[in-house]
Homo-oligomer: A and B are copies of this chain.
């Protein structure tokens, strides 16, 4: 494993999946294997302010590293700093700590609805979760290390390694110094009051509240300050908004405003279509946006008429907000929709926007129901 260079440019053609585009007609065996490996939340669990353990979404690019104990583990902070640091988990835990309640969503949430479809994890709407993360602010450690003049990017290297599009690399992402020095960026060792589970990054992960999940690097082991723009695969080879294959694209960063509702009634096992009784139906949903921008409004539509939902009190800055809506259900077929608007005036679109990689699809949530 290359330790000083996370990204090997030596392509291995055997492992290159190609760039074939998938169409509506059928999902591939690889997509289903990814859907089985990665975990979505269960929409009925949106009722819980904090997602129960095991139900927070998980997107794992390579294999979860096998780390039975943190005894031999340490975090390196180096590169363009005055005082390189090496910190054990115990040393990190003795630093000042904060706990933040944060909603995280995968940037590819909603990919399965976009045609043609990028060959990747085929999320429908379930790649989201909220947890209480405990860790130490990155800012203080970076100040202790002392970034020197010329620092251009802060790179977060992880221990999971594999291929993507023929490029072998350790998972790594970067932030600009300004982003990395944000008050709420944490080096987190606990989730919901317990040590990180292996699949959530044990022993340490980055947490960048308000951003899509790819920025919150799991199995973090090295932070490196560099004098150039980081060009690792996970920074420039993917997680870019692109309409065509040849454009440079715009980096995927903070979460777009979004809402989801708990599907009412009871489901059919296979189709997940809902059956409900006529009369008053209490609908419940959650809404969130990026960068800690508050949710200003959630609307629900039945039969195409949008009406405002009642919002729960303002939650912690980075946590989703609950909302309630009363619907008088009449017999027949209905499509329920919900859409959120944030304090900056951003609203969910009715139809998804095309993105080649399937990123950032925050179209309104639709639930088909049959009223008996």
- Identical subunits present: 2
With A271-B30, A275-B163 as given contacts, are A197 and B112 in contact (CB-CB < 8 Å)? Answer: no
A28 at the interface (CB under 8 A from B): yes
With A52-B198, A163-B275, A268-B162 as given contacts, are A32 and B42 in contact (CB-CB < 8 Å)? Answer: no
CA gap between A294 and B339 in the complex, in Å: 54
Please tell me if the beta carbons of B60 and A42 are within 8 angstroms of each other in the complex. yes
Residue on B nearest A284 in the bound complex, by CB: B66
CA gap between A367 and B215 in the complex, in Å: 31
Please tell me if the beta carbons of A31 and B36 are within 8 angstroms of each other in the complex. no
B-side contacts of A199, CB under 8 Å: 42, 45, 52, 54-55
B-side contacts of A123, CB under 8 Å: 36
Q: How large is the interface on A (under 10, 10 to 19, 20 to 34, 35 or more residues)?
A: 35 or more
Stretch at the interface among A9-17, A306-314, A346-354: A9-17
B-side contacts of A263, CB under 8 Å: 63
CA gap between A56 and B56 in the complex, in Å: 14
CA gap between A164 and B268 in the complex, in Å: 6
Which residues 303-340 in A have Cβ within 8 Å of B in the complex? 333
Residue on B nearest A40 in the bound complex, by CB: B36
B-side contacts of A269, CB under 8 Å: 61-62, 120, 162-164
A267 at the interface (CB under 8 A from B): yes
Please tell me if the beta carbons of A163 and B267 are within 8 angstroms of each other in the complex. yes
With A26-B26, A61-B269, A126-B37 as given contacts, are A112 and B32 in contact (CB-CB < 8 Å)? Answer: yes
B-side contacts of A45, CB under 8 Å: 64, 198-199
A98 at the interface (CB under 8 A from B): no
Which residues 27-69 in A have Cβ within 8 Å of B in the complex? 27-40, 42, 44-45, 47-48, 52-56, 58, 60-64, 66
Residue on B nearest A113 in the bound complex, by CB: B29
B-side contacts of A243, CB under 8 Å: none
A161 at the interface (CB under 8 A from B): yes
A119 at the interface (CB under 8 A from B): yes
Please tell me if the beta carbons of A270 and B42 are within 8 angstroms of each other in the complex. no
A86 at the interface (CB under 8 A from B): no
Closest chain B CB from A240 CB (angstroms): 16
- Residue pairs across A and B with Cβ atoms less than 8 A apart, 22 shown, are A14-B273, A14-B333, A15-B275, A17-B268, A26-B26, A27-B31, A33-B124, A34-B270, A34-B272, A35-B35, A36-B124, A37-B40, A39-B39, A44-B63, A54-B54, A54-B197, A61-B269, A63-B263, A162-B267, A163-B268, A164-B269, A168-B266
